Amino acid sequence: EAGVAQSPRYKIIEKRQSVAFWCNPISGHATLYWYQQILGQGPKLLIQFQNNGVVDDSQLPKDRFSAERLKGVDSTLKIQPAKLEDSAVYLCASSHTTGNGYTFGSGTRLTVV
């Protein structure tokens, strides 16, 4: 089966600019996650979707981050405006059901200068 697709792979922006990341999960996976992984740390959950509804966005900095999952398939994560501390890898993952292993994409490496 095809894996979780993410784009772009790399992005460099200046602080205060905006950026968007795209994710296409594995077909049939109802649950989609966005994680932020800062260098040297483990992934930290930003938001979880179940189909096209938000299940948990308690860790999402809502003043600058937003995410949507239209039609319960693809998802986009946006940062506006970006800060230096947003430099990280943004990982998208999906799972068939919660409580099972996640399938991660390769991530988008964001550098904010």
User: Would you tell me which residues interact with another protein (CB under 8 A)?
Assistant: 4, 33, 35, 40-45, 48, 55-56, 91, 93, 98-107
Nearer to another protein, 19 or 91 (CB): 91
Nearer to another protein, 18 or 55 (CB): 55
Angle at 109 between CA 46 and CA 94, to 5 degrees: 45
Nearer to another protein, 11 or 43 (CB): 43
Do the Cβ atoms of 90 and 60 come closer than 8 Å? no
Q: How far is the CB of 37 from another protein (least distance, A)?
A: 8
Q: How far is the CB of 3 from another protein (least distance, A)?
A: 9
CA distance 83 to 71: 30
